[in-house]
Structure 1
Amino acid sequence: MSGQVNWFELPADDTARARAFFAGVFGWETSPMGEDYHFITNGAKGAIAAKDAQLTQPRIYFHTTDIDASVRKVTDLGGKSDDVQAVPDVGRIAHCWDDQGTPFSLYEPKA
């Protein structure tokens, strides 16, 4: 359903330390995917990732069935969006900001 939170990313300077912290708090287990990106395998749908210039604070992804239409709505309503990116075998994403500068992301699953 469009608008539901379906993924999040928690950035960390030290992902091993962050994984240990959240394992202690929530019992989360993780599985590596790529370089320093770790899927949460037994909890909320998300990941712990290395902090970088693009990922400095938690990022929330909202589901959409038509990312192109959603991006148009974002910009029509005064927000901003980066270009839509294809993620192989996953779907398409776009990083956006609302009309007050709050970051969020959109996710359209692979058909």
Structure 2
Amino acid sequence: MAQTHHSLDYMEWPAADLAATRAFFEQAFGWRFTDYGPDYVAFDRRGVDGGFFRAEAKSLTQHGAALAVLYSENLEATLATVEQCGGTICKAIFSFPGGRRFHFLEPSGNEFAVWSDKA
């Protein structure tokens, strides 16, 4: 994939439990990972490439962290999948101008959100 000058290209998150975080995103969202040693896993082709590095820190909006937001064609089905795969819902589905979304914590405690413009 060709890079575009000054575009957002890559994002990274801490993960205390790399194996659980990896398994969660594989099961819940179909992501595929590449291992780079025992302390780093990377993903690509998800809108922006990125990875998780072994660390005890957590990315939470209440601490000022940026929020990565995924898109869903069916918000309720995605919420159910997130819960079934071990995610914790930290903000139930709510409406905002342009759509609806929910927030969740993945197994290492990082906060993500999922939104949809579908009713």
TM-score (normalised: structure 2) = 0.45
TM-score (normalised: structure 1) = 0.48
